[in-house]
Structure formats: structure tokens, C-alpha cells
């Protein structure tokens, strides 16, 4: 956070954490036992910056740059620290019919810069494009989106799929590839629609009802 102070003369610039009124720095000196906070200032410069190393969500809040004048001059800055994470669109559990395609879309959220890479894992191993045909990944760094396509899925394609960006928490989805004619899975926008026997549908609805009561 950068605070510009002109005509400072013999006054001092301090950084205050507003939630507890804790003095973090005065001039170029740190007044906090937390070594992550420090003051950055170059001789002759009008800028007095507060540096927060390895920022954490608990550091979010209002910080104030104060000048020791009478009356005091101050400027407030709001710091929001968010945890960057990946999200696979749709349900955390996906059912597809054998021979259908698996389409997974991963979006990286709360990141100031696009990830340098996004890896896909299947049951803990990096997805191997050479091991079988019909597997492709399309990654758009600008939109922070990666799409995994597994064409003509078979039983061996069942398992845990994980989207792992370079600078974000990963996300996973469990895919079930079903054999037989009766279960027919369809994907729409990353979500799944499963047509099941009536008795199983009733059981699933009852299970959801009991879980929410």
C-alpha cells in the first residue's frame, strides 16, 4: 500500500491497523512483533509504503497512513486478501454412460493474475494424452478457464479428476462411467443429468429429504 506525503519536513509517517489501532511502522522502523509488516521508503521520495509479506485472509481490513501533524493528516486503505481457488463447474459427482464424452470445465477464481499453467489429474496422476486417443485440454489464460474432454469414455476413465492451477487451491470431481443401456447420462454446461430407474430416483429424493431435515 502506497501513501504519498508531500512537504513532510520534520514530521513522521506512521502506518496503523485500524481494527486494533496497532502501530505497525513509524518512519522506516517497524513497531510490530509480526515481521511480515515493514515500511518501504527511499530517501528523497514522497512515498511511504506498507509492505505485508505473505498476506493472509486475517490481514484483511483498513490500514491508515498517518502524518504526525496537528491536526493529524491521514489516509485510509482497505486491504482484501482472498484465497485463490479452482472450481469445477457442476456437481462434485458426475455420471456418464459408457461411450459418451466426459466434459469438465475448471475456472480459477480470486486470482489477480492468470495462472501460468493448469494441470489435470486422474486418480492422482497427470492426465496422459499419449496413453489413449480422444483426450484434449483447452486452456484460456485470459479467462482463467481450462476444459478437459475425454471422448468415448470407458470404465477405466472413471475416478477422481482434479484441476490444479499453478497458484491456486485445486478442485476435484468424481466421475462414474456406467455400463449398460438403462442409465443414460447427459452433461449440460458442466452439470450432469442422470436418468435412473424410478425406484432409485425415489431413494435418492428420500435421501436428500432426510439430509435436509
pLDDT tops 90 at residue 190 = no
pLDDT on residue 107: 96
pLDDT tops 80 at residue 203 = no
Rounded CA-CA distance 52/34 in Å is 10
For the chain, what are the domain ranges?
2-79, 85-187
pLDDT on residue 186: 46
How much is the pTM?
A: 0.62
| Phi, psi angle pair for 156, to nearest 5° | -70, -10
Is-contact 163 145, C-beta < 8 A?
no
Task: Work out the mean pLDDT of the chain and round it to a whole number.
Answer: 86
pLDDT tens for each residue of 9-49: 889 999 999 999 999 999 999 998 999 999 999 988 999 99
Q: What does the pLDDT average to over 80-98?
A: 92
pLDDT tens for each residue of 140-181: 988 999 999 999 999 999 999 999 999 899 999 999 999 865
Element (H, E) at 199: helix 198-211
Residue with cell 432426510: 210
Q: Are strands 93-97 and 171-178 parallel, antiparallel or unpaired?
A: parallel
| Same fold yes or no, 2-79 and 85-187 | yes
pLDDT on residue 133: 85
pLDDT on residue 170: 95
Q: Higher-confidence residue: 141 or 104? A: 104
Grid cell digits, residue 50: 506498507
Query: With pLDDT > 90 as the criterion, what percentage of the chain qualifies?
Result: 68
Q: What does the pLDDT average to over 197-205?
A: 53
Fold of 85-187: Immunoglobulin-like (2.60.40)
Domain 2-79 in CATH 2.60.40.10: yes
pLDDT tops 60 at residue 182 = no
Amino acid at each position: 500500500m502506497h501513501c504519498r506525503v508531500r512537504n513532510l519536513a520534520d514530521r513522521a509517517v506512521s502506518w496503523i491497523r485500524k481494527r486494533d489501532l496497532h502501530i505497525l511502522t513509524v518512519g522506516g522502523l517497524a513497531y510490530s512483533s509480526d515481521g511480515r509488516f515493514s515500511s518501504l521508503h527511499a530517501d528523497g521520495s514522497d512515498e511511504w509504503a506498507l509492505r505485508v509479506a505473505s498476506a493472509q485472509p486475517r490481514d484483511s481490513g483498513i490500514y491508515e497512513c498517518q502524518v504526525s501533524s496537528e491536526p493529524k493528516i491521514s489516509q485510509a486503505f482497505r486491504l482484501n486478501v482472498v484465497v485463490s481457488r479452482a472450481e469445477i463447474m457442476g456437481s462434485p459427482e458426475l455420471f456418464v454412460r459408457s461411450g459418451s464424452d466426459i466434459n469438465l470445465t475448471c475456472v480459477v477464481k480470486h486470482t489477480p493474475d492468470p495462472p501460468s499453467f493448469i494441470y489435470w489429474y486422474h486418480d492422482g496422476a497427470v492426465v496422459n494424452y499419449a496413453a489413449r486417443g480422444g483426450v484434449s485440454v483447452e486452456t484460456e489464460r485470459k479467462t482463467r478457464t481450462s476444459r478437459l474432454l475425454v471422448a468415448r469414455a470407458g470404465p477405466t476413465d472413471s475416478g477422481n479428476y482434479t484441476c490444479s492451477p499453478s497458484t491456486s487451491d485445486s478442485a476435484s470431481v468424481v466421475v462414474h462411467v456406467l455400463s449398460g443401456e438403462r442409465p443414460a447420462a447427459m452433461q449440460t454446461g458442466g452439470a450432469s443429468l442422470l436418468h435412473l430407474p424410478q425406484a432409485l430416483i425415489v431413494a435418492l429424493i428420500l435421501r436428500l429429504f432426510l439430509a435436509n431435515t
